[in-house]
Structure 1
């Protein structure tokens, strides 16, 4: 498909959340500069990086909007800063894009094309391939089982042979590449910052779906992902937030939550970690449960009630 013309294009703001990831963010910005779609504006939100990212990005890309959050607000909080900035400046669409990605020149064009063609489309996602092995799929749509507190990617790790090349409705859209219409944000609000990390975009998608919007997977929009670059070294954080937020996600979205199954699976995992001597990770699991039971949310180091 050809690019949307300058005179007919909807205004899109591309929000890149940076946290100690200068080199990845630079590569992502450079790939966004090759996008065929216009008008599109890249905005970087720096989540209180400690590696000098903010200043280096300002020097590397003079004139590029770089917003400083002042503290690490997590995925939802940081992206919400960018979304507000975009909407205040008249954005018709906001494209949330992980900074550890690169994009095909037509990726945004295809997302907007489908969004404009499908009136009820509210949130749309790309076909995401592995950056290290572009023949492998990372995301070709998603599934959600809220009663079990589980979400997952369709096609994860499968060779891309065109088997997922139809635009389809999807259970949710991963925040790695997520295009949202302005009206959706105005109707359903921002992402819930209490999650801090993980499940926030899943719940956001479900909230949009409950308001009658369609969630669409757009395979002609291609993105390459480096796969958890920012959290690979944070195994404990991953265990804590996945444990805690899964329970919140179930309690808020599972109509017939299967608590016994959830508790049984988590107990088995907890005992497995103890048996392997992974005491730090087991402690992260128990902390996740404790904070859920006592109603604490947000950042683990600075939890808040509610």
Structure 2
């Protein structure tokens, strides 16, 4: 019997994207999956529309915007309680190739040490332009970035391989990993949760792998693209949280002057010079919270 996979979509006022994503998942060729939609207190009629269009999909109503980590964690707990062998986190603003889940499970089942597997991800608006083809982490500078981003796919990233992190846009996680290292870090709310989770898994000896035969298309920034201050705050704050947890003392001692000097002070001064006082306050508040949390 095939392992049971629970696909989790997190929705926050993204009704049309979520309905389109659910439509694409109806075409999957994998025989043993269920879908949970975790709704973060949407006010756009999402819950009613999803239940009407897809009565077989379970909607978990979180009642408030708990962020990426908090919203997904509730659904992950439910999936484990219902017998999931794997949990797949999938952005609601994606559409999936029919074979994407089969390829991920096949890879994960090939080696008991593989704990997390991720897809090759394209821009939805440009179906052959890459958004993610592996993840790279530089703990000396706090940099995490997608390998291959914005490149046209000419087969240059068609080799399955270990990678520093898998994007939470399409992340398959073995049950054993969750039982060993726990859930996503809810302090982060938004951004760096996926990188942090993969780092924690790797520290416990699990492999994190990129599987290019598994394909997803992403409508980039479908949810957060409209909320620039939110992006700035959590991206800035969580960079420091991520480093404090994962870097180790030597790398942290190199990172901190870079972060507070070049990243915080420079960007705050530039914002003030440009008359963007509110932006400068967001940067400084993010740095303070990252330091004290």
Q: TM-score, normalised by structure 2?
A: 0.96
Matching residue within 170, 175, 183 for 1:182: 175
Instruction: Report the counterpart of residue 260 of structure 2 in structure 1.
Output: 263
Is 2:117 the counterpart of 1:120? Answer: no
* Alpha-carbon shift at residue 261 of structure 1 (Å): 1.2
Tell me if the contact between 1:147 and 1:253 (Cα under 8 Å) persists in the aligned partners: no
In 1, Cα distance between equivalents of 2:43 and 2:276: 28
Matching residue within 105, 111, 116 for 2:104: 111
Matching residue within 76, 100, 111 for 1:83: 76
Q: How many residue pairs were aligned?
A: 288
* Alpha-carbon shift at residue 171 of structure 1 (Å): 0.5
* 1:86-134 CA-partner distances (Å, limit 9, x unpaired): 1111111111000000000000000001001122100010000000001
Instruction: Report the counterpart of residue 28 of structure 2 in structure 1.
Output: 35
Tell me if the contact between 2:240 and 2:291 (Cα under 8 Å) persists in the aligned partners: no
Instruction: Report the counterpart of residue 139 of structure 1 in structure 2.
Output: 132
Is 2:195 the counterpart of 1:197? Answer: no
Instruction: Report the counterpart of residue 304 of structure 1 in structure 2.
Output: none
Instruction: Report the counterpart of residue 287 of structure 2 in structure 1.
Output: 289
Q: Which runs of 5 or more structure 1 residues have no equivalent in the other structure?
A: 1-7, 296-306
Q: Which runs of 5 or more structure 2 residues have no equivalent in the other structure?
A: none
- CA RMSD in angstroms, aligned pairs only: 1.1
In 2, Cα distance between equivalents of 1:111 and 1:294: 38
Q: List structure 1 segments (4+ residues) > 4 angstroms apart after TM superposition.
A: none
* Alpha-carbon shift at residue 290 of structure 1 (Å): 2.4
Kindly indicate which of the two structures has a greater share of residues assigned to helix.
Answer: 2
SS of 1:138's partner is strand
Tell me if the contact between 2:84 and 2:175 (Cα under 8 Å) persists in the aligned partners: yes
Tell me if the contact between 1:36 and 1:109 (Cα under 8 Å) persists in the aligned partners: yes
Give the stretch that moved more between structures: 263-272 or 126-135: 263-272
Tell me if the contact between 2:96 and 2:217 (Cα under 8 Å) persists in the aligned partners: yes
* 1:232-270 CA-partner distances (Å, limit 9, x unpaired): 110000010011111111111111212111112221122
* Alpha-carbon shift at residue 274 of structure 1 (Å): 2.2
* Alpha-carbon shift at residue 279 of structure 1 (Å): 2.5
* Alpha-carbon shift at residue 52 of structure 1 (Å): 1.8
Tell me if the contact between 2:241 and 2:291 (Cα under 8 Å) persists in the aligned partners: no
* Alpha-carbon shift at residue 275 of structure 1 (Å): 2.5
Instruction: Report the counterpart of residue 5 of structure 1 in structure 2.
Output: none
Instruction: Report the counterpart of residue 12 of structure 2 in structure 1.
Output: 19
* Alpha-carbon shift at residue 278 of structure 1 (Å): 2.7
* Alpha-carbon shift at residue 292 of structure 1 (Å): 2.5
Matching residue within 95, 112, 123 for 1:102: 95
In 1, Cα distance between equivalents of 2:61 and 2:285: 30
